[in-house]
Structure 1
């Protein structure tokens, strides 16, 4: 029986992470072999995919997501080729009939062949799809960027954050003179003698949107990084010939990123494959082990390449730690964004950290919650809601305030546990984890012994920022938090008086402080550690 009542085509193909139901919810993909031939002149692709499908529960049928602009030429289950009447894909949900149910725990091989002209990205990477460009010397320069729209824009997949592939072999065939930089480790290249060459890559545990095609007349800059964990990590940067100097500079910079992330969070998760980058015609994207980079090697007065550092952060916060649903996307973007001021603090000092936090603070919208309680979210690109911005910048500022609340000795070990599922991750023993905001709360509560419902409700499930009401009467200062939350907002405050810095506890959301003298000058939150409403910022257009 085929899946019934799928979402309309415009919705299915335009948005990833739609509800995981029907056969898609009960299909595991331990192995995928994805072969794609790319025709730059006609802007088309043809593909053949072989899947090992394992049933989580008994399956009456199978289902994959695939943009229906492609023509499916063949589907095979085991050794049997299906008749056209045994499958249908009019709406982007490819339903495949089974002769007999696939029992729980059983597996079968599925083969799908398709071809066509993929959707062209309108504004990559924000509005994604295929990118067909030319290098400055006129050669084909091709990339995919499908985070918001999903892997189904160019191959049959289960388009949901929670669906990971055990091992994927990606075989990309391109015209001679081009190189396809891919996910994972390069297994072989095969020259067919007919003007085409195939690049065979193998990756473990990739996220669906992290599977990518990045193709051009590339050269490679490389070095090996000797990790503090005792292993060696290959750094590889595929770049256009005219970008040689910039690529070699950034390869050296990437070694500092590795040092920082491994010191702060833990071992690089994909050291057995590579830390890879490919120069692309669009700005960037966190494709697992082959990040897209299009920042044009511009130097920055902060002393680092913000784009490359941000995308590399996603190897930990997106590719290793993956949000269980798109509702928790701040775990990718907010924590990843926060890694930038943290890196500046580590590499260049506190002043640059504070300068970056101040820049970020001015970009918050606070119109909708960071996390939806019912899974209903505004569109990422909806400028009115600002959700697609707040998951970065508000998420980063929530982490900044959380650092003040619990301290480094709690927060960074908590991030390690959140990211790896263990307190002591070791190279060779790392597998990706799916996480929600509640998972983070549970870890922090376990480590602190405190109930943090008040913090998570106010910052993640409410749009408006907490407001601090301060009223002075002579030597007395009355402080009170106001939030839309039903919980008392128990955020403590730092108070500076005549050179003395005090931490003021506010367990019920209020406090009365003796300033000692009616003329005492005071300053609340002098280091700007708490995310709260600020009229000077939040009332400025």
Structure 2
């Protein structure tokens, strides 16, 4: 469909939003109710009815009212039945007043839908058979949740730019998409496409996900910005509104395609700092494409937008709020980490939050790898050491049970920061064990579902820790269940016990669950290195009485180190 025809179709929805918003400005917005516990707990299990449909498309027309800290929106949700279904729930925060719900163009009576705790149940009015389609239209308005501490505690951020204009962003990973649009708040609830029509004051810009489809100035101080994104991660849909300017370039990919680069920055930003940050885009893209594979959304854009919060991996429009800070490493760590999530999070999405280390751990391992790419081995090892010193080891990285994001990210009940640092160090130990070829092929297969990704031959996918283990086993040609069990499913690090007597050095691995851990270990004796096989978790070699012995001289293996435990104020085991 051409943009001009599409604009005509959008005019009706825009007119509705403009009319309702105009009346909304004439009155004071009522105090918003609180979001329910259900709404604030993302990654909810899907209901049988949600599993019975495919989410084909969401068309979201959202007018943002900065002075009221409110939105006025119409969502059109299209589904295809995979099995018979007659009622369909979607998630939407109860803070919003719903003015009508329509199914296939017919407005429902109020008795035909309800939104009790943030799960909006809709009677479809007929029994859908397999292959049938249905279109649901929902009009809603109100004050969305204001983020207490974005991005860690999310919602809308209603900020002010240095030049005085509104500066607004959404960041909803911990709570989910239902904070501002009706969705299926589950990783498997990803729609095939989301079209966004964001109406804002005309002196502001509204960069968002996917491809830009043009903007419409309504001539009354309001402009609608139109975007379209394929297969977006649900929490990655983002509104960004402010006095932005755009810097653009074209990246010539090593895979033969040309990818638009786009940076939306505040008009008040230092031009030199803007240019310096933008200059980092292409080298980072080249690193990721050479290390993992093709940029997953090359037919849309690699986009970044300045935000009043620190950052978040919003697909093709990553939030950046690091304020151009330098830290002596020669690159912007936040820009690089959020870009990692285009591969680990948006292209590959974990099956459940319990597998979140696949996003954060593998994404975090990209930082030391990039430092080696830029500056060499010293910087690579320095970054790994920094991650090692930050380990907590209070909860396992993976529990083996279904978890919500809060149960994973909150360090008092789950692994917290260990999914970043420990996940990265586990990835490094795995690479040192199986070798570069098997490791990087495993990562590529995990991300794309195939070993030979090229633009156009893959789509977004979901995977679990068990899926990664199966891939690693194939690539390494051996069963590495012991490795995953010993590192990921135990809070305690494997402990290498050593005794030395009668000219022999005896080594034994002790794990959190007492299972065998046959991790080979390199030992340096008087400058000469040998690898001890550690069959069954035990091994020994001959050493001279006064020989200098150094265990794991290149720090290839993640393990408990007593001197770090003492430094942390913990008792060694």
Query: What is the TM-score of this pair, normalised by structure 2?
Result: 0.91
- What corresponds to 1:11 in structure 2? 37
SS of alignment partner, residue 41 of structure 1: helix
SS of alignment partner, residue 353 of structure 1: helix
Match runs of 1:161-200 below 5 Å: 161-200=187-226
Please give the alpha-carbon distance, in whole angstroms, between the structure 2 residues aligned to 1:221 and 1:501. 52
1:469 to 491, 494, 497: 497
- What corresponds to 1:313 in structure 2? 340
Contact residue 126 and residue 381 of structure 1 kept, 8 A: no
SS of alignment partner, residue 367 of structure 1: coil
Deviation at 1:433, TM superposition (A): 0.9
Please give the alpha-carbon distance, in whole angstroms, between the structure 2 residues aligned to 1:390 and 1:26. 36
Contact residue 454 and residue 485 of structure 1 kept, 8 A: no
Name stretches of at least 5 consecutive residues in structure 1 with no aligned partner.
1-7
1:455 to 483, 490, 511: 483
- What corresponds to 2:556 in structure 1? 529
Contact residue 355 and residue 398 of structure 2 kept, 8 A: yes
The Cα offsets for residues 447-474 of structure 1, whole Å up to 9 and x where unpaired, read as 1221111111111111111111000013
Please give the alpha-carbon distance, in whole angstroms, between the structure 1 residues aligned to 2:333 and 2:107. 50
The Cα offsets for residues 189-214 of structure 1, whole Å up to 9 and x where unpaired, read as 11111110011001101010010001
- What corresponds to 1:359 in structure 2? 386
Please give the alpha-carbon distance, in whole angstroms, between the structure 2 residues aligned to 1:230 and 1:362. 41
Deviation at 1:431, TM superposition (A): 0.7
- What corresponds to 1:419 in structure 2? 447
1:336 to 363, 370, 375: 363
- What corresponds to 1:3 in structure 2? none
2:164 to 117, 126, 138: 138
1:389 aligns with 2:452: no
Contact residue 36 and residue 47 of structure 1 kept, 8 A: yes
1:96 to 93, 113, 122: 122
Deviation at 1:381, TM superposition (A): 5.2
SS of alignment partner, residue 370 of structure 2: helix
- What corresponds to 2:329 in structure 1? 302
- What corresponds to 2:137 in structure 1? 111
SS of alignment partner, residue 400 of structure 1: helix
Deviation at 1:9, TM superposition (A): 6.7
Please give the alpha-carbon distance, in whole angstroms, between the structure 1 residues aligned to 2:291 and 2:530. 28
Contact residue 466 and residue 481 of structure 1 kept, 8 A: yes
Contact residue 317 and residue 419 of structure 1 kept, 8 A: yes
Contact residue 32 and residue 168 of structure 1 kept, 8 A: yes
SS of alignment partner, residue 319 of structure 1: coil
Please give the alpha-carbon distance, in whole angstroms, between the structure 2 residues aligned to 1:429 and 1:132. 40
Deviation at 1:247, TM superposition (A): 2.1
Please give the alpha-carbon distance, in whole angstroms, between the structure 2 residues aligned to 1:486 and 1:131. 48
- What corresponds to 1:225 in structure 2? 251
Contact residue 16 and residue 149 of structure 1 kept, 8 A: yes
Deviation at 1:185, TM superposition (A): 0.6
Contact residue 62 and residue 73 of structure 2 kept, 8 A: yes
1:43 aligns with 2:69: yes
* Higher fraction of helix: 2
Name stretches of at least 5 consecutive residues in structure 2 with no aligned partner.
1-33
Please give the alpha-carbon distance, in whole angstroms, between the structure 1 residues aligned to 2:412 and 2:396. 13
Please give the alpha-carbon distance, in whole angstroms, between the structure 2 residues aligned to 1:326 and 1:166. 21
1:346 to 355, 373, 397: 373
Deviation at 1:154, TM superposition (A): 0.3
Please give the alpha-carbon distance, in whole angstroms, between the structure 2 residues aligned to 1:129 and 1:183. 17
Please provide the CA RMSD for this pair. Answer: 1.4
Match runs of 1:115-130 below 5 Å: 115-130=141-156
Deviation at 1:216, TM superposition (A): 0.6
Deviation at 1:380, TM superposition (A): 4.6
Contact residue 61 and residue 73 of structure 2 kept, 8 A: yes
1:326 aligns with 2:353: yes
1:484 aligns with 2:512: yes
2:290 to 240, 263, 271: 263
- What corresponds to 1:288 in structure 2? 315
Deviation at 1:105, TM superposition (A): 2.3
Q: How many positions carry a matched residue from both structures?
A: 533
Higher mean alpha-carbon deviation, 218-227 vs 142-151, is at 218-227
- What corresponds to 1:147 in structure 2? 173
Query: What is the TM-score of this pair, normalised by structure 1?
Result: 0.96
Please give the alpha-carbon distance, in whole angstroms, between the structure 2 residues aligned to 1:525 and 1:297. 38
